Structure 1
């Protein structure tokens, strides 16, 4: 018998990264069956971590190589300021001669998702001056060799973006690679003009209490504001606030709390009391 030259050197058993679609995952784990040269793979992985300024680890569990990468979690409305541990680990796995199914899964990530926070590789790049860019956060990634793989994508888009048309085109394109699109919850963008009298009362209250003349701006966050026709996110973020939204050690200082309370008091009075 002769050895099959097409037989893969590595088999991806499982892959797991992320828990929530609206967060950039800060941890990823891959379990890989290595048929030979495990030391070489570990050394290559360590070099990959160093070159990409990442933290990670490699261990052996019952003959299976376990690779982990640590990233930086941020809110999914701007994945460009985070470090997606899952996408980086898949980037490394692309360098291995994996089994066919895993190879297709890893290739999809590199073809459409890695280093593409604004939908560029998916053909969905779109920008408006008022509401900003389309963003694509890959919040959940799973794979196992007995079932299938999943990329959980949290796509946020401004007014004017043709969502259904973009989804149809992308779904048709990826069929050739054995993938399909399954839509979860779809919410249209919510926008209230900054010159609306209601918004201007909120802006005036903020400026009176802070002397900060900054113009109001839009964010990609899916806040409860969308439940009201003219609802807006009127939050307690200041120029000196550390943005830890949905992250570890999220906090507010006493000064920020008192400042926010003053702003809200004036805003409520202005909206509810006629002079």
Structure 2
């Protein structure tokens, strides 16, 4: 699933205390765990600092669906039929709605030659890409429910 991502988000330090705290948003790869990462950090930096894992309410384990899953194969097949281009799976570092379902995945719209404006101030899609996406979604729904 690629590299783990660590985004230090909160840093707390008070001059009169002997410790500081850094809280991080970590998106970690399949095959590791928060406990394993803490142990690796403590093995390397234990003389300087201690790392602890504190689960919180929104903690989520990595979500992964293999590209040979029948559901994913159907989605790729529809994409290929509708676009004439080879479909490919992509591993995302971000979270998406697919994680709410056992074999759920994020599914488009993103086309190879399109300008990616996702989450940008000017987030947009062309009408031609919107029409193409709707055709893909309609056929995907048909294929998955027939």
* RMSD of equivalent CA atoms: 2.8
Q: Alpha carbons of 1:235 and 1:152: their partners in 2 closer, same or farther (altered >3 Å)?
A: farther
CA contact (8 A) 1:171 1:181 kept: no
1:192 counterpart = 2:65: yes
1:153 counterpart = 2:55: no
CA contact (8 A) 1:142 1:151 kept: yes
Q: Which residue of 1 aligns with 2:126?
A: 253
Structure 1 counterpart SS, 2:88: coil
Q: Alpha carbons of 1:145 and 1:159: their partners in 2 closer, same or farther (altered >3 Å)?
A: closer
CA contact (8 A) 1:244 1:251 kept: yes
Distance in 1 (CA, whole Å) between partners of 2:129 and 2:16 is 49
Give the Å deviation of 1:224.
Answer: 1.6
Identify, as 1 or 2, the structure richer in strand.
1
Give the Å deviation of 1:146.
Answer: 6.7
CA contact (8 A) 1:194 1:200 kept: yes
Q: Alpha carbons of 1:242 and 1:137: their partners in 2 closer, same or farther (altered >3 Å)?
A: farther
Deviations 1:58-87 (A, max 9, x none): xxxxxxxxxxxxxxxxxxxxxxxxxxxxxx
Select the residue among 97, 100, 108 that pairs with 1:235: 108
1:167 counterpart = 2:38: yes
1:219 counterpart = 2:119: no
Stretches of structure 1 lacking an aligned partner (at least 5 in a row): 1-130
Please identify the structure whose Cα radius of gyration is greater: 1
CA contact (8 A) 2:6 2:25 kept: yes
Q: Alpha carbons of 1:167 and 1:144: their partners in 2 closer, same or farther (altered >3 Å)?
A: closer
Tell me the number of residue pairs that the alignment of Structure 1 and Structure 2 aligns.
142
Distance in 2 (CA, whole Å) between partners of 1:174 and 1:258 is 55
Give the Å deviation of 1:198.
Answer: 1.3
Give the Å deviation of 1:170.
Answer: 2.8
Deviations 1:153-207 (A, max 9, x none): 2211222124312124435745744876544443111111111111111111111
Deviations 1:244-274 (A, max 9, x none): 333322222212211110100000011112x
